[in-house]
Structure 1
């Protein structure tokens, strides 16, 4: 069972009823706005690829694919962690919730460190945003996603502090679900970025 479950069992007769979306409406408006922003980035990337096919064919060959793979692994793992945190709070397991949230923070920090290593790796090879049209769009898209990871990591850290202070219970954890939904959005966007930037020619 994940944070995106559509049904839950309630009541003494175990009547199955529709469940509301995790988080609140404000969180989902924000998430949809962010997804729309990234959709425009992807569209701009594809248009640039159409106009400068050689740059976009050669560009991925110069990237550190290992860094991209490790970042993918870090974010996929982080989504597992945050899903376990939501499951834990629904059981009323406060300590486990905090542990899983901190694991998510650790995965977010790991992503940032890998990304910093990747940028340094690029710099030592003379790769900058001015190297080609591909790298101009690469840096723009990567930095934007990196910024979202940083924001998301601090959000999850704040959520972990609130969980440790007892702000969430099995019956009241809307804020935690909202933070988890935002983090899953960050992960989803990266799943699209990784093949688009590192693999497809």
Structure 2
């Protein structure tokens, strides 16, 4: 089978860019819709679409940061000034942040685990679709994905889970790679030639 060179080259160099290294410009609304269309093309046993998107952009991210800071301060009143700034900027580090929200629920044929894996696949597709449009991306979760108060502020229902927050923007930082696992440590062979 011939290698699909552009895809092969992309996958062999794919990496996350830290959200703190992202700047404007971010994707336009038309680009976001294209990115979301591509992201939705994932394995989805039963065609349930057990996930949804929330797009955070513009000045509303500043207000949400203020709300998240209030929640953080309620839990840790002596939060340092540096950590207060981290909370305020949590959604403004990149021009666009997209939540992938898992709506997995019991189903007569489709296990919840398969539905959750579909949401994970959406996160990776969303990341790659952003890259395909020329943008840097990072897939994060952080405490806001697991805190009921934060989820409520962010428009996520109590029975939903956050598969990830995909941060999207531009960057001028040089791309460096991180160590990757040795295949000999993570692969088992059953049958066939060595």
Q: Is the shorter-chain TM-score for this pair beyond 0.5, marking a shared fold?
A: no
TM-score computed with the length of structure 2 as normaliser: 0.27
Higher fraction of strand? 2
TM-score computed with the length of structure 1 as normaliser: 0.27
Higher fraction of helix? 1
